[in-house]
Structure formats: C-alpha cells, structure tokens
C-alpha cells in the first residue's frame, strides 16, 4: 500500500511526464500505460522513437481477463518484483514464473534451448486466456508466438517488451503480425520494469473504470 508521501511523489512525477511529452497520439487508457512505463524507466523515448504499440483489443481483452482471475505468466522473476501484489490478491490472479525450476533447466539442456523458451512451452495450458508478460528474454517471446501459431495456447494478452541486441527487435516485429492481443514497442529498448509497469497500469485502468 502506497503511503500519502509516496503517492504525492508519484502524482508529481506523472505531472512532469504529461508536461514534457505534451500532445501524443494515444487514447486515455493507452496513455495510462505509456506514462507508467516512462515513470518506471525515466525514458521518454517510449513515447517517441521506441514508442509503445497496442493491438486494438489489447486493453479490453487484458482487463476482462484480469478481472476474471486469469494467470499472469512472466519470463523472469524480475518482472514479478515490480508488480503491485495487492492487485493480484484482489482478483485472485496467480503469477507463474518457472524459469528457475529444475525441470525447466533439465529440459532446456536436453533440447538445447534457452531456459526462457522452455519455461514458456511448459506452461502453455496455464497461459491460455491469461496475460503473458515478457520483459527480458526475446527467446521467450518467439516461443510464445510459435505456440500461438501452433494453436496450443491462446493468451488474452501478450506483453512483448524484451530488451536486448539479439532477436529483441525481430521478436517484437513478429508479435505485431499476430491477431492475438499484444502490447509491445519499437526497437531494442524494453526490460522487466516495462513489463511490470504495463501490468500495473492495466489494474489502474480497471480501478479507474470501477469508480
């Protein structure tokens, strides 16, 4: 639970972001998400060259799924660290990250795949109708895309915002070709704080609608 002092700092930060960005092409709900990403990274580029891109059904699909208690699958524990856990408790959302599980490590070695790839493949059933939040590993994102194309899973939303130099850009480009709802960005930038911020912002949108 955020303190009054903490809330005042956050509110001031959001005012600064609004002031520095000025006009933008995002809808009100989209801007809630973009602004929270900027707040978590202090990087205004996410509203500019490395802009956030939304599937037309991304927000409606995700907020509906979250309110129904869907699973949230992440690629790394760092994404979980940025979540506001009170939100998950309210709706009964289970957060799943198995990248450090012994079974994942063993299977990855056997198949000569990354742990991130293998971790996604092993939770295909749990991510069905859930929210997938990938902020670190491009191979996790490419695996999820492949699984969707194979028809073995159908997430309500794929947050694909991995950071990096190898396959990060390409995986995001490929995600934008899917009909599955997604939120991603242009370019190499991204990271776990961005993925966490998107999920937290989706809960903010839910809360705003209920008032």
Q: Which of 139, 132, 173, 134 is nearest to 155 (CA)?
A: 132
Q: Is 24 exposed, middle or buried (0-12, 13-18, 19+ CB in 10 A)?
A: middle
Catalytically active residues are 39
Its sign, for the CA torsion 155, 156, 161, 167, is positive
Beta-strand relationship, 52-54 and 72-74: unpaired
Number of neighbouring beta carbons within 10 Å of residue 158: 28
> Can you read off the two tokens belonging to residue 50?
């490395």
**Alpha-carbon distance values, 96 to 144, 200, 208 (Å):** 15, 16, 26
The answer to whether the beta carbons of residues 187 and 46 sit under 8 Å apart is no
Residue 15 makes CB contacts below 8 A (sequence gap 6+) with none
Task: Give Cα 82 to chain centroid, integer Å.
Answer: 11
- Residue 26 backbone dihedrals phi, psi, to 5 degrees: -85, 150
Q: Determine the 3-state secondary structure of 137 from DSSP.
A: coil
């Amino acid at each position: 639970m955020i303190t009054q002092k903490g809330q005042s700092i956050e509110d001031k930060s959001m005012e600064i972001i609004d002031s520095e960005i000025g006009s933008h092409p995002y809808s009100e709900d989209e801007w809630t998400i973009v602004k929270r990403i900027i707040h978590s990274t202090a990087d205004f580029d996410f509203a500019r060259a490395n802009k956030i891109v939304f599937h037309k059904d991304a927000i409606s699909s995700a907020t509906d799924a979250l309110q129904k208690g869907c699973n949230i699958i992440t690629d790394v524990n760092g994404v979980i660290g940025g979540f506001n856990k009170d939100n998950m408790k309210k709706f009964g959302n289970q957060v799943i990250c198995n990248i450090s599980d012994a079974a994942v490590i063993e299977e990855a070695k056997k198949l000569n795949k990354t742990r991130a790839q293998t971790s996604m493949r092993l939770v295909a059933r749990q991510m069905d109708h859930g929210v997938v939040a990938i902020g670190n590993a491009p191979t996790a994102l490419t695996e999820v895309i492949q699984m969707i194309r194979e028809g073995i899973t159908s997430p309500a939303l794929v947050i694909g915002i991995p950071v990096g130099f190898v396959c990060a850009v390409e995986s995001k480009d490929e995600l934008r070709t899917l009909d599955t709802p997604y939120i991603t960005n242009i370019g190499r930038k991204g990271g776990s704080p961005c993925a966490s911020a998107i999920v937290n912002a989706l809960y903010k949108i839910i809360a705003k609608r209920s008032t």
